[in-house]
Amino acid sequence: MPERRLTATLHPSIAAIAAPTWDACAGADNPFVSHAFLSALEDSGSAGPRTGWLPQHLTLTDEAGRVLAVAPCYAKSHSYGEYVFDHGWAHAFERAGGAYYPKLQVAVPFSPVPGPRLMVRPGAPVTIAALAEALEGACAGLDLSSVHVTFCQASESAALAEAGWLTRTGVQFHWANPGYADFDAFLEALASRKRKQIRRERRDAQAGLEFITLRGGEIGAAEWAAFYRFYTATVDRKWGSAYLTPEFFSLLPRYLGDKVVLMLARAGGRPVAGALNLMGRDTLYGRNWGSDGEFPFLHFELCYYQAIEFAIRHGLAKVEAGAQGEHKIQRGYLPAATHSAHFIAHRGLRAAVSRFLEQEKQQVAADMAALAGFAPYRQASSPEP
C-alpha cells in the first residue's frame, strides 16, 4: 500500500484504540509501550489534564481502515516528567518572543525507559519517514512549536535524522547478563576490590531486614499502600511532583499481571522500603523506589543487587535501572547511549538547537568514554552493555 494513501489520526485517549490493534504494532517486548501500561496511566488520572499530559495518540491506517502504525503522543504545556531536558530551549525561545508551548511529546509519561516509539505492525508497508511526516503534519495542524520523540530506539533516531530531524544522545547505566549462573558468578567477574565492596554493602544493607519479591496478583492492598508511601517520600525528598496516583499502582497488576515485580525490605514483618520493576521479554526495568527512613546501602540492595539476582534467576539479558546515576558503574551497570529526535518548526530556534546539540554530542561521547574507564569488571570478563 503506497504510503501516500495512509491516513493519520490523533486520538484523545488510549481507550479509543483497541488493545489488540495497538499491541499488534507495539509488540510484546517492552511493557511500557503496551496498551495496558498506557491505560493504567490514563485510567488512574496519572497522565491527563491534572498532570498536563494530554493524550493525542497517533495511528496510521490504510484505505481499508486497518491500523498499520501507532505512536504514544501527548500535547504538553510544560517539560516536566520527560527526563530529556529542553527547558533551556523553551526559555530562550520565549525570551525571543516565541511560544515554545504547547508541544507534542512522543514518549511514555514519567518513564525514562528506552524502547520503540514509532511502532509499525510487522510486515506493514510503513516507514519511519511516513510517521515523521504524520507527526510534522500534526505539529502544523495543532499549531505546536515542535515534536519530541524521546528515549526511542537508535534505529528510529537514525531514520528521523534521515528525515531531517535533530537528534540527541544521553547516557544511562545498564547491567548486562552474559549468562551468569548466580550472583556469585557475577561477583567473580569483578575486580577483587569491587567484589569486596559489594559484599560489604550487601551485608550492611541486609542487617536486620528481610527481603521478598512479589509479582502481579501476589501484591496486596497493604503492600501497595506501603509502596505509595515510599514513592511520595522519595518525591518529597527530591522536591518533585507526585504524578502517579495510588490508583495507578493498584491498577498495574490488574493490567500487566506478572510483569509487575515489587521488591520489598521488611523489618519485623513491616515493609520499610520497596523497589518497583516491570519485566519485559529479556529485560528487567527498574522504575520507582522509596523507604521510610535512612538505611545504609539499602537503595543499592533493592534497586541494583536484588534486580541483578532476579534477572539471573529468570534468565533475563539486562537490567535497566532508570535515569542518571554514575554510582551505578561501581555496581556493574555500564554506560549505554539513549536517543531522542526533535522536529522544531521555527527555523531560528531549530538552528540554535542544532548548534547546541552538536556541542552536546561531543561532550556526551567524551563523558561515555571516560565513564567506561571506571568499569569494575576484570577486563576479560567485561560484558557488553
Query: Does the structure show a pLDDT above 90 at 169?
Result: yes
In order of their start, the domains of the chain are 3-171+336-372 (3.40.630.30), 178-316 (3.40.630.30)
What integer pLDDT is reported at residue 382 of this predicted model? Answer: 65
pTM score of the predicted model: 0.95
What integer pLDDT is reported at residue 383 of this predicted model? Answer: 78
What integer pLDDT is reported at residue 242 of this predicted model? Answer: 83
Angle formed at CA 247 by CA 246 and CA 251, multiple of 5 degrees? 125
Query: Does the structure show a pLDDT above 90 at 236?
Result: no
CB 289 within 8 A of CB 226: no
207: Cβ–Cβ under 8 A, 6 or more apart, which residues?
none
Confidence grade of residue 241 (pLDDT, cut at 50, 70, 90)? confident
What integer pLDDT is reported at residue 380 of this predicted model? Answer: 57
Q: Give the number of other CB atoms < 10 A from CB of residue 155.
A: 12
CB 156 within 8 A of CB 332: no
Angle formed at CA 293 by CA 287 and CA 298, multiple of 5 degrees? 55
What integer pLDDT is reported at residue 4 of this predicted model? Answer: 57
